[in-house]
């Protein structure tokens, strides 16, 4: 596993998606991995009902039961975390896939 900050580094903020065929795997920051299977256009997770996964215009979003939304790019990198109260954090990455900037804002 390569963390957002580079090979060999671990952080408690790390979340990532992995792709295998039509399956999507969500790795949470505690190392838990959840498998989502595409079934009739909807992603289903049998391990938990705490997360919902959607794909829209090439971006993947996972929403928690607490209404926290995680957006991922086509490489599976976390690009935005947003809360129902309007607070958000945006991440950008360099050409090697390492975390470059973290920007927080509220609406």
pTM of the model as a whole: 0.86
C-alpha–C-alpha distance, residues 5 and 78, integer Å: 12
Per residue in 67-84, pLDDT (tens digit) is: 999 999 999 999 999 999
Per residue in 2-21, pLDDT (tens digit) is: 555 556 666 667 899 999 99
Would you say 17 and 76 are in contact if contact means Cβ atoms under 8 Å apart? yes
Would you say 7 and 14 are in contact if contact means Cβ atoms under 8 Å apart? no
Per residue in 45-75, pLDDT (tens digit) is: 999 999 999 999 989 999 999 999 999 999 9
Q: Within its chain, how far is the Cα of 20 from the centroid?
A: 15
């Amino acid at each position: 596993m390569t963390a957002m900050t580079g090979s060999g580094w671990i952080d408690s903020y790390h979340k990532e998606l992995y792709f295998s065929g039509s399956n999507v795997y969500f790795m949470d920051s505690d190392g838990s991995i959840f498998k989502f299977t595409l079934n009739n256009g909807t992603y289903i997770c049998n391990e938990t009902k705490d997360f919902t996964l959607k794909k829209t215009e090439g971006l993947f979003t996972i929403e928690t039961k607490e209404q926290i939304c995680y957006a991922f790019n086509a490489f599976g990198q976390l690009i935005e975390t947003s809360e129902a109260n309007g607070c958000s954090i945006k991440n950008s990455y360099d050409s090697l896939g390492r975390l470059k900037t973290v920007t927080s804002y509220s609406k």
